[in-house]
Structure 1
Amino acid sequence: MQTVDFRYFALHPGERLLDLGCGEGRHAIAAYILGDVHAVGVDLSHGDLVTARSRYQEFAEPDNTCKRLDLTAASALALPFADATFDKVICSEVLEHIPDYRAALMEIRRVLKPQGMLCVSVPRRWPERLCWALRKQYHLVPGGHLRIFRRGMLRSEIEHRGFVGYHSHGAHALHAPYWWLRCLFWKTVETNWLVRQYHRLLVWDMLQQPLFTRTLEKWLNPVMGKSVVMYFRKEAAA
């Protein structure tokens, strides 16, 4: 399930892309598939990186020297890369987990080339607030969400660090009710009939891509998309 829309984040041959907080590799692998790029996925979870490596094998093109994917464990607060290493950085559903997210933004700025592009996504404020209200454990579990962002405030914070925003959109509107249901039926989530049926609907939608649900989500994304996705370009140094 991709959050980044590569129509607004075009990949060019020979570019280096960092997927910061890559998890199980959805965006790093997508970038590898879509373009002749060197994609690098970074995450703190060894288990997620193992899963990402396994998923990548299905798409690996070892004889294609124009593309490459690497995965490594590292902290967003101390990235093991030189200044101005990457042409593009993706930071999707990560900042809400990091205590010092401002330091992570500065690391992103450091490793991104001048005129490089950044895509950031975070949970939309009102669907996230509803999850917090329905079940406090939702954000108190280890690795849970530490904060709820205001889109305008986060955009301003990023722009004040030398970026210019050029596009934004919502994503995954059909997933918002699923998380509300999970919170509502927290104690029986694994066996609850309604939760399981809605999950089946989401899996069917992702695999089959039917016109009705794709169109419905497109209409709903600006209002209740579970994620807010923002795109920036790093200003050249004065």
Structure 2
Amino acid sequence: MAGSRIGGSFLDVGCNAGFAVAAAHTLGFSATGIDIDAAAIAEAQKNFPDANFECAGVEEFARGETYDFIYCSEVIEHLPSLEGFLTEVRSLMHKDSLLLLTTPDLGHPSLRWPMRRTPIIEWDSIRPPEHLFYFNKQNLKKILNQHGFSRIKCALNTKPTIRALVQL
């Protein structure tokens, strides 16, 4: 995995109110945020008028450009289909791009008995129909590998969230 980077091009897929885009811009990135929620994009544009935001899904946004860093936090579990999404995210990357992907971790040790005192169905990330996919590190790595991502490193996390740093 590549080391830390400052500057370059940054894309936040599912940017919501734009805080990560604003932070990346502060760090010297040419930063853009996309989201399918028009109200979230309007809020982001209002709060961060110097940043770039677009109301679009990744499938509509992909235009042949690539980005040095792609941030996709708490998005993948909401998608009706992973196929087109992962294909388009991959198309936005070049050989040195980094993708930081986060999603709830159904396999996290804190969710196992005896640590977990309440049924897993009561976990706050079990939210059908809002969350359509549930991941653990193994099945997330498998689906990413199937879509051409070969270097996947999952960070240790004390909370039940997967933080995966991904490269082609």
For Structure 1 versus Structure 2, the TM-score category normalised by the shorter chain is 0.7 to 0.9
**Residue deviations 1:112-166 (CA, integer Å, cap 9, x gap):** 1222111111101057977861289x6236xx11121122111122123222335
Q: Counterparts of 2:52 and 2:76 in 1: how far apart (Å)?
A: 22
RMSD: 2.8
Percent pairwise identity: 21
- Specify the alignment match of 1:231 in structure 2: 165
Letter in 2 for 1:12: I
Q: Is the 8 A contact 2:14 2:35 kept in 1?
A: yes
- Specify the alignment match of 1:153 in structure 2: 139
Q: Is the 8 A contact 1:170 1:227 kept in 2?
A: no
Q: Counterparts of 2:123 and 2:101 in 1: how far apart (Å)?
A: 26
Letter in 1 for 2:166: F
- Specify the alignment match of 2:26 in structure 1: 33
- Specify the alignment match of 1:65 in structure 2: none
State the shift of 1:100 in Å: 0.7
- Specify the alignment match of 1:118 in structure 2: 99
SS at match of 2:143: helix
Q: Which runs of 5+ in 2 are unaligned?
A: 112-117
Q: Is the 8 A contact 1:122 1:228 kept in 2?
A: yes
Rg larger for: 1
- Specify the alignment match of 2:80 in structure 1: 99
Structure number with the higher strand fraction is 2
Structure number with the higher helix fraction is 1
- Specify the alignment match of 1:140 in structure 2: 128
Q: Counterparts of 1:85 and 1:126 in 2: how far apart (Å)?
A: 32
Q: How many residues align?
A: 160
Q: Does 1:46 align with 2:35?
A: no
SS at match of 1:79: helix
